[in-house]
Structure 1
Amino acid sequence: MKLFIDANILVAVINKEYPLFTYASRVLSWATAKGHSLVTTSVSLAITCYFAEKKHGSRSARDRIGLLAAHFSIADCGTREVQQAATDKHVNDFEDGLQYFAAYNSGCTHIITENTKDFYFSIIDVQTASDFLKQHYKGGGQR
Structure 2
Amino acid sequence: MKQVFLDTNVIIDYLGNRTGFYDDAAIIMSLAINQKIKLYAAAISFATASYILSKNNDNNRIKTLIADFCNICKVVATDEECVNYATISDFEDFEDAMQYKCAEKAKADYIVTRNIKDFKTASIKVGTPEDFLEDFINQY
Q: Secondary structure at the match of 1:55?
A: coil
User: How many residue pairs were aligned?
Assistant: 139
Query: What does residue range 111-130 of structure 1 map to in structure 2 within 5 Å?
Result: 111-130=111-130
Q: Distance in 2 between matches of 1:116 and 1:25?
A: 19
User: What's the counterpart of residue 13 of structure 2?
Assistant: 12
Q: Distance in 1 between matches of 2:33 and 2:129?
A: 15
RMSD: 1.4
Q: Say whether the 8 Å CA contact 1:53–1:60 is kept in structure 2.
A: no
The alpha-carbon deviation at position 35 of structure 1 amounts to: 3.6
Residues 30-53 of structure 1: per-residue CA shift (max 9 Å, x gap): 233144210001111111111222
What runs of 5+ residues in structure 1 fail to find an aligned partner? none
Residues 54-78 of structure 1: per-residue CA shift (max 9 Å, x gap): 1111111111111111111111211
Query: What does residue range 53-132 of structure 1 map to in structure 2 within 5 Å?
Result: 53-88=54-89, 90-132=90-132
The alpha-carbon deviation at position 26 of structure 1 amounts to: 0.5
Task: Give the percent of matched residue pairs that are identical in Structure 1 and Structure 2.
Answer: 24
TM-score (norm 2): 0.93
Q: Secondary structure at the match of 1:24?
A: helix
Q: Secondary structure at the match of 2:54?
A: helix
Q: Say whether the 8 Å CA contact 1:115–1:128 is kept in structure 2.
A: yes
Q: Say whether the 8 Å CA contact 2:112–2:126 is kept in structure 1.
A: yes
Q: Distance in 1 between matches of 2:43 and 2:92?
A: 21
Q: Secondary structure at the match of 2:18?
A: coil
Q: Secondary structure at the match of 2:17?
A: coil
Q: Say whether the 8 Å CA contact 1:3–1:111 is kept in structure 2.
A: yes
What runs of 5+ residues in structure 2 fail to find an aligned partner? none
Residues 67-93 of structure 1: per-residue CA shift (max 9 Å, x gap): 1111111112111111111112x1211
Q: Secondary structure at the match of 1:54?
A: coil
Q: Say whether the 8 Å CA contact 1:32–1:38 is kept in structure 2.
A: no
Runs of 4 or more consecutive aligned structure 1 residues displaced over 4 Å after TM superposition:
none
Larger mean Cα displacement after TM superposition, 122-131 or 49-58: 49-58
